[in-house]
Chain A
Amino acid sequence: MELEKLRHGTELIKRGFAKMQKGGVIMDVTNPEQARIAEDAGAVAVMALQAVPADIRKSGGVARMADPQIIAAIIETVTIPVMAKARIGHFVEAEILQALGADMVDESEVLTPADHKYHIDKTDFTVPFVCGARNLGEALRRINEGAAMIRTKGEAGTGDVSEAVRHMKQIMGEIHALKGMTKEEMIAVAREIEAPIELVIETSKLQRLPVVNFAAGGVATPADAALMMRLGADGVFVGSGVFKAENPEKMAKAIVEAVNNYDNPEVLAEISKGIGSGMKGISVDTIPQDQVLQTRGW
């Protein structure tokens, strides 16, 4: 087989990678030990970052891409895919992550944005991207820029699932509302939500986003993860929820099992027993407006 006959980084390959994550749990980790715990628990991938969102929130300052040495060490440690976060608009951080061998880049509002006008042109990359969204317009703009996967923004680092719920219901509601619309009506919607008409039509036809759609931002317990699956998420990101819990090993394993049993309350009851308390968290209502993460990006 001649190497030049292999085609890399096509849309099919990028979106296909995201499809392999469906029904799974992706966990935030900050070092190889945590990555090993996540893998042993049955996570489908890990997200490498410098500090979990709850700590980023606490420490303040500028949050950037994680130390490449830590990302490389995590890549060495686990066999499951390793994702990593780049700042919104920081295409050089994304290039570095691609060079390191990260399997997916999260252009994330959890980090301090590097560009207040433009997101990264993700079509230029071989590696696929995941991006956060609060509504259909935001999701379709990211897909138009080349995102292969969408996740709700929720409100990261809070352990309060209410914003993830709000964003998932918002996106699903807007998709359902497209059903049965004429082209003329969809053109009006596309203009209103500032999304390309082709993607609006495709979404209407599919009655789902054209890429995989995960829940993220505030998931802290097995019940939270199951709730997001019930609302139609393809899978779940857990940020601070695992390693800020009383017993990360038990919590990680319980959340993985909850996602596979999301529609069975009896099993969820068993899974949720004796796993220790979840992260303490903070209620979203009490966060000052200037410390809200979900309004980063547009």
Chain B
Amino acid sequence: MRIGVIAIQGDVSEHVEALERTLAGRGQVADIVTIRHKGIVPGCDALVLPGGESTTLGKLLIREGIAGEIQDIKNAGKPIMGTCAGLILLAKRGDEQVARTHQHLLGLMDTRVNRNAFGRQRESFETELGLPFLDTPYNAVFIRAPGIVDAGKDVTVLARIDDMIVAAEQGNVLALAFHPELTPDPRIHQYFLDKLS
């Protein structure tokens, strides 16, 4: 089993460590690879798109030739998890900010995103978030977080804050506006790994 973490930019090592911790807790072994160039994604059984700056990530995914490879992984039905910037990249449609910066979107989910739905860094927050697959709330960390403004009928909404969708999935693609890799609670990574087995 091989899990790829897109490592162009952002909190990559945090996702790698969270995956390692979660796998160890389940007594599982997997090869975790970090990906900055093309040719590695096709050999992966699951992919993580970490948090970072979506504008930068989008540009470099294209320049490095990785974007198309991620599309193929999705078409093969393999699990993909995007957190924060990852949620933006997974979307089909963006807001005017996304359009103006020529932000490249992978379009793997039938969603429309608002790039900075919750404001600037001073408005960033932590909160207890309920998720349908967890018994108790998750301490979710939102950093200059995006949100999903609307979603198509094939998208399952997992959590909202006010009117904004902050967690959703479509088939094997999971999008989160927050950062489960920044907290020690392994339950989100567990949920993701469940999709693999």
A1 near B161 with CB under 8 A, answer yes
Segment of B22-30, B40-48, B116-124, B150-158 in the binding face: B116-124
Count B interface residues, CB 8 Å: 43
A271 to B46, CA, bound (A): 31
Cβ distance B6 to chain A, nearest Cβ, rounded Å: 11
Contact partner of A8 among B56, B100, B124, B182, CB < 8 A?
Answer: B124
A103 to B122, CA, bound (A): 7
Contact partner of B55 among A6, A13, A39, CB < 8 A?
Answer: A39
B53 near A45 with CB under 8 A, answer yes
A10 to B100, CA, bound (A): 32
Contact with A along B110-136 (1 / 0, CB 8 A): 000001100011111111100000000
B143 near A16 with CB under 8 A, answer yes
A19 to B179, CA, bound (A): 11
Contact partner of A7 among B13, B51, B127, CB < 8 A?
Answer: B127
Cβ distance A1 to chain B, nearest Cβ, rounded Å: 5
A10 to B183, CA, bound (A): 13
Closest to B98 in A: A79
Segment of B57-65, B72-80, B167-175, B188-196 in the binding face: B57-65
| B:93-118 near A, CB below 8 Å | 97, 100-101, 115-116
Q: Is B8 an interface residue (CB 8 A)?
A: yes
Q: Is B186 an interface residue (CB 8 A)?
A: no
Closest to B123 in A: A8
Task: List the B side residues contacting A98 at CB < 8 Å.
Answer: 122
Closest to B128 in A: A5
Closest to A41 in B: B59
Task: List the B side residues contacting A261 at CB < 8 Å.
Answer: 36-37
Segment of A20-28, A56-64, A130-138 in the binding face: A20-28
Contact partner of B121 among A6, A17, A260, CB < 8 A?
Answer: A17
Q: Is A107 an interface residue (CB 8 A)?
A: no
Closest to B126 in A: A7
Contact with B along A140-181 (1 / 0, CB 8 A): 000000000000000000000000000000000000000000
B97 near A127 with CB under 8 A, answer no
Task: List the B side residues contacting A80 at CB < 8 Å.
Answer: 53, 55-56
Contact partner of B53 among A1, A12, A24, A40, CB < 8 A?
Answer: A24
| A:45-67 near B, CB below 8 Å | 45
Task: List the B side residues contacting A127 at CB < 8 Å.
Answer: 121-122
Contact partner of B127 among A1, A40, A78, A103, CB < 8 A?
Answer: A1
Interface centre among B53, B55, B144 (most CB of A within 10 A): B53
Count A interface residues, CB 8 Å: 39
B141 near A13 with CB under 8 A, answer yes
A79 near B97 with CB under 8 A, answer yes
B144 near A103 with CB under 8 A, answer yes
Q: Is A32 an interface residue (CB 8 A)?
A: no
A43 to B122, CA, bound (A): 21
A24 to B12, CA, bound (A): 12
Interface centre among A7, A10, A13 (most CB of B within 10 A): A13
Known: A17-B143, A79-B97, A79-B116. A44 touches B56 (CB 8 A): yes
A13 near B143 with CB under 8 A, answer yes
Known: A16-B11, A44-B9, A257-B63. A9 touches B143 (CB 8 A): no
B56 near A12 with CB under 8 A, answer no
Closest to A263 in B: B36
Task: List the A side residues contacting B101 at CB < 8 Å.
Answer: 39-40, 78-79
Task: List the B side residues contacting A44 at CB < 8 Å.
Answer: 9, 52-53, 56
A21 to B182, CA, bound (A): 14
Task: List the B side residues contacting A101 at CB < 8 Å.
Answer: 120, 122
Known: A42-B56, A42-B60. A23 touches B7 (CB 8 A): yes
Contact with A along B139-153 (1 / 0, CB 8 A): 001011000000000
Q: Is B87 an interface residue (CB 8 A)?
A: no
Closest to A208 in B: B13
Known: A39-B101, A45-B53, A127-B122. A22 touches B10 (CB 8 A): yes
Known: A101-B120, A257-B63. A19 touches B182 (CB 8 A): yes
A-B interface, 9 closest residue pairs, ranked by CB to CB distance from nearest: A103-B121, A6-B125, A23-B9, A19-B11, A44-B53, A7-B126, A42-B59, A1-B161, A79-B97
A6-B125, A43-B56 known; 13 new pairs, CB 8 Å cut-off, are: A5-B127, A7-B127, A9-B124, A12-B126, A12-B141, A13-B126, A22-B52, A23-B7, A42-B59, A79-B100, A80-B55, A80-B56, A81-B120
6 A-B residue pairs with Cβ-Cβ distance under 8 Å, sorted by A, are A6-B125, A8-B124, A13-B126, A20-B10, A22-B9, A79-B97
